Chain A
Amino acid sequence: MNIIVCVREVLDPDLPPAKFRVDPESKRVLPPEALPPVINPYDAVAAELALRLKDRYGGKITALTLGDNGQNVVRHVLSMGADDGIVLSDRLFEGSDSFSTAYVLGQAIKKIGSYDLILCGRQAADWDEGLVGPVLAEYLGLPLVTQARSIEVTEQGIVVSRVTIDGHQVFVAPLPALVTVSGVAGQPRLPSGWNIIAAVRKQVPVWSADDIGADPSRVGTAAARRKLVRLFIPERERKCEIVTGETTAEAAVKLATRLRESGIV
Chain B
Amino acid sequence: MTEKSDILIYGEMAGGRLTTTTRELVSIGRRLSAELGHPLGILLVGAGLATAVAESATLVPGKIYVMDAAALADSDPERNVEAVIAACRRIAPQVILMGHTDVARDIAPRLAVRLEASIVTDCVDVTAEPDTGSLRQMRPVYGGKAMAVWLSEGDRPRIVTVRPRSAAPAEPDISNRGVVINLPADTINPTAKPKLVETVRDQGVSTRLEEAKVIVAGGAGIGGREGFDMVESLARLLGGVTGITRAVSDIGWMPSTLEIGQTGHIVKPDLYIAVGISGASQHLAGCQAAKYMVAINKDPEAYIFTVSDFGVVGDYREALPPLIEKLKALLAA
Contacts and interface: CB of A to CB of B under 8 A. Distances in A.
Given A183-B250, A248-B315, A236 B106 contact: no
A172 B113 CA distance: 23
B201 A225 contact: no
A234 B263 contact: no
B158 to A, nearest CB: 8
Contacts of A22: 146
Main secondary structure of the interface of A (DSSP, over half): mixed
B203 interface: yes
Contacts of A257: 326, 330
A130 B305 contact: no
Contacts, number: 261
Contacts of A39: none
B200 interface: yes
Nearest to B195: A172
B102 A228 contact: no
Nearest to A225: B118
A163 interface: yes
A190 interface: no
B263 A226 contact: no
Interface stretch (A67-75, A120-128, A196-204): A120-128
A183 B312 contact: no
A222 to B, nearest CB: 14
A153 interface: no
Interface stretch (A111-119, A132-140, A210-218): A132-140
B309 A183 contact: no
Interface in A168-205: 168-174, 177, 182-184, 187
B307 interface: yes
Given A252-B314, A255-B294, A240 B309 contact: yes
Nearest to A260: B330
B5 interface: no
Nearest to A138: B113
B181 interface: no
A169 B122 contact: no
Query: By DSSP majority rule, is chain B's interface helix, strand, loop, or mixed?
Result: mixed
B197 A240 contact: no
A252 B320 contact: yes
Interface stretch (A1-9, A49-57, A82-90, A142-150): A142-150
A29 B280 CA distance: 18
Interface residues of A, number: 85
Interface string B296-332: 1000000101111111111100111111011100110
B142 A242 contact: no
A11 to B, nearest CB: 7
Contact of A138 (B105, B109, B296, B315): B109
Nearest to B152: A226
28 contacts: A11-B142, A16-B303, A17-B279, A17-B306, A18-B306, A127-B142, A128-B139, A128-B141, A134-B109, A135-B112, A144-B194, A165-B206, A167-B199, A167-B200, A168-B199, A168-B200, A170-B199, A183-B263, A225-B152, A231-B146, A234-B147, A243-B311, A244-B313, A249-B319, A249-B321, A252-B314, A256-B322, A257-B330
Interface of A: 11, 13-18, 20, 22, 29, 98-99, 122-123, 125-131, 133-135, 137-139, 143-147, 149, 160, 163-174, 177, 182-184, 187, 225-234, 236-244, 247-253, 255-260, 264-265
Interface of B: 77, 101-102, 105-106, 109-110, 112-114, 117-122, 136, 138-143, 145-153, 156, 193-203, 205-206, 214, 238, 246, 249-252, 256-257, 262-265, 270-271, 279-282, 284, 288, 292-296, 303, 305-315, 318-323, 325-327, 330-331
Given A138-B114, A144-B194, 19 more contacts: A16-B303, A17-B306, A127-B148, A128-B143, A131-B112, A146-B77, A147-B105, A184-B250, A226-B152, A228-B149, A233-B146, A236-B284, A240-B295, A241-B309, A247-B318, A250-B322, A252-B318, A258-B310, A259-B327
